[in-house]
A and B are shown apart, each in its own frame.
Chain A
C-alpha cells in the first residue's frame, strides 16, 4: 500500500516569485508519481509524471518535479508563478502491481498580484 503526504494545505505566493509544493510518499514497492492540477469546478489535469528514467521531470505550464528516492519526495517547483497558476494541486502515487493511484489531500496555491 502507498500513502502520500502533502504537508502544506495552502501556499500563498506573490506573482513572479518561485514556488515549491511539497510531496512525500511511502511505499513498499517501486513507485510511479504524479502531479495533477485542478482549477475551480473542473476535473484534474495531469501536470507531470515520473514513471522511470531521469529523476527530474518537466511538465506543462513551466512546472517541474524531482523524484528523490532517498528522501521519498516528489516536490513540485516553478521558478516564476502567474496569477493563472492559482489552483489546487494534488500529488499522487501508484505502485508496481497496483496502478490505482493514492492521492494526497491537495495543496491550494494562491498567487497574489
Chain B
C-alpha cells in the first residue's frame, strides 16, 4: 500500500504560537490530500481537502484563517495552526488518496498529537 508520513508526531506549544504540520506521500504523487481532526474516543472529522496548486476546500465550521493549508507540491501538504489555543489541542491526521480500480482508497499518516498549553 501507499505510505504517508507526518511530521512532527507530537508537538507541545504555548498559547498564541503557530504550529506547522507536514504530510508527505513517500512513494506516490498525491494531487489531493485530506486533513482530519480526531477528538479522544471519537471518529475522524474531515477538516479540509488539500489540492495541489490551488486553494484548499474547507468543511463547514472550519476556520480557514486559523487552519492554513498549503499543497505546494505533489508530495507535500502542510497544515499550519495559527495562534493556537488550548481548544486546538487534538490529534491531527492527514491522508492521501490513490486511484485503485474503479474507486479510490485513502491512506493515512501516523498522526500528529498537538498540545497547546
Contact = CB atoms under 8 A, between A and B. Distances in A.
Contact of B49 (A43, A45, A49, A100): A100
Interface stretch (A19-27, A64-72, A103-111): A103-111
Interface residues of B, number: 26
A94 B93 contact: no
Interface string B89-117: 00101010100111111111111010000
A9 to B, nearest CB: 9
Contact of B101 (A51, A100, A103): A51
Looking at chain B's contact residues, the main secondary structure is: strand
Contacts of A74: none
Given A36-B108, A42-B111, A43-B111, A103 B44 contact: yes
A32 B103 contact: yes
A43 B109 CA distance: 6
A46 B1 contact: yes
B103 to A, nearest CB: 4
B105 A49 contact: yes
B108 A100 contact: no
Nearest to B107: A46
A8 to B, nearest CB: 14
B103 A100 contact: no
Contact of B102 (A51, A101, A103, A106): A51
B43 interface: yes
Interface of A: 32, 34, 36, 41-46, 49, 51-52, 90, 94, 96, 99-101, 103-106
Given A42-B110, A42-B111, A49-B100, 18 more contacts: A32-B104, A34-B106, A36-B108, A41-B91, A41-B113, A43-B93, A43-B110, A49-B105, A51-B100, A51-B101, A51-B103, A94-B104, A99-B97, A99-B103, A100-B34, A103-B44, A104-B43, A106-B43
